[in-house]
Amino acid sequence: MNYLSIDLGNKVCWLAYSNQSIIFMLDQVERHKLINHIKKIIKEKNISTIVVWLPYDLYQTNTKQLDKTKKFIKKLNTIFKDIKIDSIDERYTTFESLNILKEMSSKKDFIKKNKDSMSAYLILESYLSRKN
């Protein structure tokens, strides 16, 4: 099974996919182009499940971004009826992403550019580890 993870932003979204057990970070996508980009990835990568990050705050309360994400998940379910749509609560993903990238490089531009892509990677990694 191949999986696609989405870290949904207001203007830009970050994606990662797995081909069996290997996870790949993908380039960021502008939000208004996301659905068409997902369609392309599903065909190219034979995606069977889409995993969307639920952005809860530290106290697991609803936020505006969480409400937007839940609406987006409903939209995905409507458009991709043959694809399993799942979600995962990963509150500390961004923090973990920053720590990993800081170990890789001290360049602030590198860290800033890659933190959300790394988050999408970690979301998928966490999801897959829970499935096994």
Which CATH number is 69's domain given? 3.30.420.140
Picking from 130, 121, 131, 93, the residue whose alpha carbon sits closest to that of residue 4 is 121
Q: What is the pLDDT of residues 1-31, one digit of tens each?
A: 899 999 998 999 999 999 877 999 998 999 9
Q: What is the pLDDT of residues 57-85, one digit of tens each?
A: 766 666 788 899 999 999 999 999 999 99
Q: Which domain holds residue 88?
A: 2-131
Query: How many domains in the chain?
Result: 1
Range of weakest confidence among 3-7, 65-69, 90-94, 109-113: 90-94
Q: What is the pTM of this model?
A: 0.85
Predicted pLDDT of residue 132 = 63
90-113 per-residue burial string, b: 16 or more CB within 10 A, e: under 16: beebbeebbeebeeeeeeeeebee
